[in-house]
């Protein structure tokens, strides 16, 4: 149940009363109060009905992230980036952090192409336990240093609630990978800290499941959530690893106020087709792109096949900005 | 086996000898001769080896439509359109032909927005046998008249080999729908006539199956084939009917010389999202778009939910051309 | 709209009146009359309301094949088989007819293992136009002779409406393959003749689409329809070609009165796993199995990889009957 | 690289040398030593070649769980159950623990039907953060008490590495749900304790990904792993929530020595079809079944729609055992 109150102060008063009544999962946005667990006004007798403008009973289960609750776009401000709304964001970096020099060089190229966020993995979710699992804290140190040197935001993947504190000492933005989209313990832990979280869509997650996963983060108090489409699993993997679901971009943007970005590198899985797929996502309305780059893709420690060279990134980002501005 | 000969006349001579030897499925393109059923030179002892420049043994099963056989783009010329290569084509019209006046009005709007091909169905492949199945020949008559009046090409769907002759008396381009992509009897019949065929991808067809379906048409002698991605079947149909597979566009264009266009109307299934999905396809490299339009979508006889109004079409086509020209 | 009349003669009278009123798509079963295109009683003012026991307005679009229209199981009687209801049917034979001797030998083995229907293809829907397309009428002749010699029913695939007459001169049962499940011209043609039709599920057809395809046949007057699950397309084709959807068997049996059989050969695509998959289908309630056999699988002209040897067939059929009888 | 040594003691000696050389991911089984990260003998110069019988270089990435490494079936012994090999196991219980009385009553019914393992969730991975998340430790206490009273094994789901110690104080078997199949932090944590782990297949996990997830557990030292197929995500969810992939059962059993069980309750999602789907899994070779039961499904706190009543369970288990014994 979402209750639209006369004004912001009435909403805040209602929120305070709900908490005084030990109600869980009550949230306010401007003059609105959302009660995730209530179905009718009679369940909240403490609400001053004279201050109620309207009541919405039929809202999505993932209430907070829905436009029904918050019609206005969420815009997230970090030290070097403004994400969401009409803004357009470019994120780039190596798949895995390899060395201090390498992440700095990749960051320089990324910045030159217009990126404000430097991505890179130090904890890698690899299919096999025997594949390189990331450099761990040493990677975080080098990644942080490169971001600071270049004046960029740092973004890195997190795989376990136990790592939130350590990784949070370094990163500006947490990334949750496709395999962990429904790792609810992790999502809750990220909801209890206050840095932005970029949440990738699970490889066979429905729209509703994706929004509910985001709601897990929001339910614990963190509304700084960025959604990212990264390709879904389909029936033909001969030529590409995944199928970029560009259609989901406008669908999500109608349903949620959260920024929706796209990752063409994982969608394609091979560098050949990253550029057209990335441009397609932007034409469909994506509010930004994230790509993986490497100066010597054949020598990349992880996923070199899908990495663009800095030059290819420059071409992609230049065209992407042109399409965004049309 | 593809044999690259010294020149075109050597290729033609080889083709003639192959026919004299009663070999089936031998095709020539410029100085190349493709033997679909042969695996090695020794199977074709009549070839003059002194005129052989190179032999390609490892080619796709769908040989003729592959770039291995024909590196250059196929460009198809109709009375009012040039399709393929660097050209960009717009196709529009009602889902079903409803009346002489209606198809003319829709054609006028389509032409005003830049379309050169007027689509419309008189034989409709409906999921239920009790749904409206199209006006049949009466629809063809009205459709032809509208195209002639406006100076546009006519394109309409064909569902049975038995209809090729009748429909061929009216249409300029045959359309094969997603459900008939592997209706091999139909494909062969269309391969034996000489008008262009637009072949839609089956809703769960792999890239190789799609190209092999096109090869069925080519194998009978008709190389004027246009491929169209129209959305694939995926696991989430709550908000959209299909998932536009934009990734397949660059993948196909690398593998085949045939033009690759996109149909965002069926991919979306709801008009809301046709525009961003259509633009995405163009950004991914689609060499044209086909959309369904209706002046009063709510009153359309078939699939009104996905029809754009003429105004919406104008907006889409204008942006599509801008993206194509970037 | 389904109208339940007082008795069979009232239903027949109503059917006659509907036809006199030029209503299309009106069908009777016992004391029921189904009007596929009517939504309310007022659209059929000629019905004698005093003889109306009940009216069902909310029925599936595929009306005739639904249990809402016909609660009792359809049981199909051919010369050598009774298919549907509590009966259990075994169908076997080579993928393609190869020679008179071969089909006879395979038929003998099939009969020895309990099969009453001898399958075999003379018109083959091959992915590539350059693959062997079947022996055509010569194959039909040999197939018919083997079936007659052995006292079995003959079943063979049909791919085009143009072939219905010719193939119908030989076969006892028509088979429609997965690629043609929505070849509506073919389905209608088969609805206008009076031999049973075995309809395979399309490789990504929904339950509703499958039933609507069957309804196409029924809509033209032929109610002798057998449904067959043969595996659906899924995301992992590394070890098996398709995914046998055993769940659909009880789902279909609840919704439709038609017999539901299973084809584990195509579901598996490799002979290793045909047996457990076939047994699973029977345990799920399949009213029969169809398998492909070959005495020398490695030398089979088509799909030898998935063929069982006669001995393997014997083992499978023996266990299948035991599970069916539990 | 898998090295087959002359005997067990040679294998143990080689393992000891590998550890002395600080090699990671080296494992022994009988007279075999598997080096997950080595590709050739020259990388392990310390191996006494005179004691080497054979070397297998081409093995699956998920080495330890493969039959290439361990040809014999894994058989897991708990206090009340023997799982794997020719044994057949029945697991039942409520979806969520609701009360001490309820879990005891459900356990009694499960035991009467032949189950030796009592399942129930106290930490529930719900799609929405606002749905009931389980009773937590109170549930574990009641669950443990019921299992002890009845002489059954307790099995419960774990969602976070942080809970392994607490949950491990109560449960006999850990369950990892479909959403956490690639929660690698959790898998590693479960690999470092010594109770059996039942790992459900991710809803769109390939066979290789499933085996690699199991390998994560094995890589940390715990080989007591039970695999469970629970239905995959497909394109038609109108009548059933998932598609039970019975085909994967024989495929897995050929590739891995681990026990493979099936969960028809989640595969179906509706109780109507749990029984035929469960029987199908057993006919395909599943070494056991897990089902959810409730005495009053309509009043179940979680997933009541898919719960069988105790009577329905009795029917299913009786038939399942009969099929297993065929």
pLDDT tens sequence across B51-106: 999 999 999 999 999 999 999 999 999 999 999 999 999 999 999 999 999 999 99
When scoring C245, C247, C326 by the number of chain D Cβ atoms within 10 A, the one with the most, hence best to mutate, is C247
pLDDT tens sequence across B31-52: 999 999 999 999 999 999 999 9
CA C104 to chain centre: 23
> Which residues in D lie closer than 8 A to residue B232 (C-beta atoms)?
none
Question: For residue A304, how many other CB atoms are within 10 A of its CB?
Answer: 17
The CA–CA distances, whole Å, from B99 to B106, B121, B140, C232 equal 11, 12, 10, 40
Q: What is the pLDDT of residue C303?
A: 86
pLDDT tens sequence across A111-143: 999 999 999 999 999 999 999 999 999 999 999
Q: What's the average model confidence in pLDDT over A184-190?
A: 97
Contact (CB, 8 A) for C313 and C275: no
pLDDT tens sequence across C136-161: 999 999 999 999 999 999 999 999 99
When scoring B129, B161, B184, B223 by the number of chain C Cβ atoms within 10 A, the one with the most, hence best to mutate, is B129
Question: For residue A88, how many other CB atoms are within 10 A of its CB?
Answer: 21
Contact (CB, 8 A) for A56 and A33: no
Nearest CA in chain A to B244: A247
Contact (CB, 8 A) for B191 and B213: no
Nearest chain A Cα distance for residue B281, angstroms: 6
Binned at pLDDT 50, 70 and 90, residue C102 comes out as very high
Structure tokens at C59: 């029925």
Q: What is the mean pLDDT of chain D?
A: 97
Determine the 3-state secondary structure of B103 from DSSP. Answer: helix
pLDDT tens sequence across C158-168: 999 999 999 99
- Tell me whether strands B26-29 and B32-35 are parallel, antiparallel or unpaired: antiparallel
User: Chains near B, with 3+ CB pairs < 8 A?
Assistant: A, C, D
Structure tokens at A128: 């096999």
**C-alpha torsion angle, residues D76, D78, D80, D84 (rounded to 10):** -10
How far apart CA A238 and CA C82 sit, in angstroms, is 44
Choose the closest CB to C207 out of D239, D250, D282. D239
Q: What's the average model confidence in pLDDT over C243-260?
A: 98
Q: What's the average model confidence in pLDDT over C70-80?
A: 98
With a cut of 0.90, is the ipTM above it?
yes
Which residue intervals of A269-309 are DSSP H helices? Answer: 274-283
Calculate what percentage of chain B has a pLDDT beyond 70.
100
Would you call B246 and A285 a contact, using CB atoms and an 8 Å cutoff? no
Q: What's the average model confidence in pLDDT over B292-308?
A: 93
Would you call B234 and D237 a contact, using CB atoms and an 8 Å cutoff? no
Q: Is the pLDDT of residue A303 over 90?
A: no
How far apart CA B30 and CA B3 sit, in angstroms, is 11
How far apart CA C1 and CA D166 sit, in angstroms, is 60
Question: For residue B167, how many other CB atoms are within 10 A of its CB?
Answer: 23
Would you call A219 and D129 a contact, using CB atoms and an 8 Å cutoff? yes
Q: What is the pLDDT of residue D262?
A: 98
pLDDT tens sequence across C286-324: 999 999 999 999 999 988 899 999 999 999 999 999 999
Residue D318: which of D279, D271, D281 has the closest Cα?
Answer: D279
Q: What is the pLDDT of residue D303?
A: 86
Q: What is the pLDDT of residue B176?
A: 98
Nearest CA in chain D to B235: D235
Would you call D207 and C285 a contact, using CB atoms and an 8 Å cutoff? no
Binned at pLDDT 50, 70 and 90, residue D167 comes out as very high
Determine the 3-state secondary structure of A64 from DSSP. Answer: coil
Structure tokens at D279: 């029987």
> Which residues in B lie closer than 8 A to residue C37 (C-beta atoms)?
130
Name the E strands within chain C: 2-5, 26-29, 32-35, 52-56, 76-77, 82-83, 89-93, 117-119, 153-157, 173-176, 197-200, 225-229, 260-262, 288-292
> Which residues in B lie closer than 8 A to residue A268 (C-beta atoms)?
247
- Please name the residues between 241 and 280 in chain C that touch chain D, using a CB distance below 8 Å: 243-247, 249-251, 254-255, 267-268, 272-273, 276-277, 279-280
For chain A, domains (ranges, CATH) are 2-56 (no CATH), 76-325 (3.20.20.70)
Q: What is the mean pLDDT of chain C?
A: 97
Residue D308: which of D321, D290, D323 has the closest Cα?
Answer: D290
B73 touches chain C (CB under 8 A): no
Q: What is the pLDDT of residue C297?
A: 94
Q: What's the average model confidence in pLDDT over A296-322?
A: 95
Determine the 3-state secondary structure of D26 from DSSP. Answer: strand
Would you call D188 and A129 a contact, using CB atoms and an 8 Å cutoff? yes
Residue whose entry in the numeric block shows the structure tokens 């060395």: A99
CA D101 to chain centre: 27
Contact (CB, 8 A) for B210 and B221: no
Would you call D184 and A62 a contact, using CB atoms and an 8 Å cutoff? no
Q: What's the average model confidence in pLDDT over A307-320?
A: 97
Structure tokens at B73: 């783009």
Choose the closest CB to D280 out of C231, C273, C280. C280
Binned at pLDDT 50, 70 and 90, residue D289 comes out as very high
How far apart CA D198 and CA D180 sit, in angstroms, is 12
């Amino acid at each position: 149940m979402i209750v639209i109150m006369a004004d912001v102060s009435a909403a805040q008063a209602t929120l305070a009363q709900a908490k005084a009544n030990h109600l869980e999962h009550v949230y306010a946005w401007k003059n609105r109060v959302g009660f995730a667990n209530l179905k009718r006004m009679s369940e909240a007798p403490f609400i001053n009905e004279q201050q109620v403008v309207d009541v919405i009973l039929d809202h999505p289960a993932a209430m907070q992230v829905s436009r029904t609750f918050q019609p206005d776009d969420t815009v997230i401000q970090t030290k070097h980036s403004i994400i969401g709304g009409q803004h357009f964001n470019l994120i780039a970096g190596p798949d895995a952090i390899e060395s201090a020099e390498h992440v700095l060089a990749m960051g320089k190229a990324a910045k030159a192409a217009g990126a404000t966020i430097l991505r890179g993995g130090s904890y890698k979710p690899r299919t096999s336990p025997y594949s390189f699992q990331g450099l761990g804290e040493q990677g975080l140190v080098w990644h942080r240093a490169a971001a600071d040197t270049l004046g960029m935001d740092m973004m890195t993947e997190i795989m376990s609630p136990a790592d939130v504190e350590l990784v949070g000492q370094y990163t500006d933005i947490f990334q949750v990978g496709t395999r962990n989209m429904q790792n609810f313990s992790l999502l809750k832990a990220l909801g209890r800290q206050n840095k932005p979280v970029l949440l990738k869509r699970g490889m066979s997650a429905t729209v509703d499941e994706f929004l509910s996963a985001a709601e897990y983060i929001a339910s614990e108090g963190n509304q700084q959530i960025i959604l990212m489409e990264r390709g879904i699993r389909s029936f033909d993997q001969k030529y590409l690893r995944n199928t970029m679901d560009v259609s989901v971009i406008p669908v999500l943007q109608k349903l949620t106020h959260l920024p929706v970005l796209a990752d063409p590198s994982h969608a394609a899985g091979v560098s050949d087709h990253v550029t057209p797929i990335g441009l397609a996502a932007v034409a469909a309305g994506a509010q930004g792109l994230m790509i993986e780059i490497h100066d010597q893709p054949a020598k990349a420690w992880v996923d070199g096949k899908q990495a663009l060279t800095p030059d290819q990134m420059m071409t992609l980002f230049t065209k992407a900005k042109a399409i965004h501005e049309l």
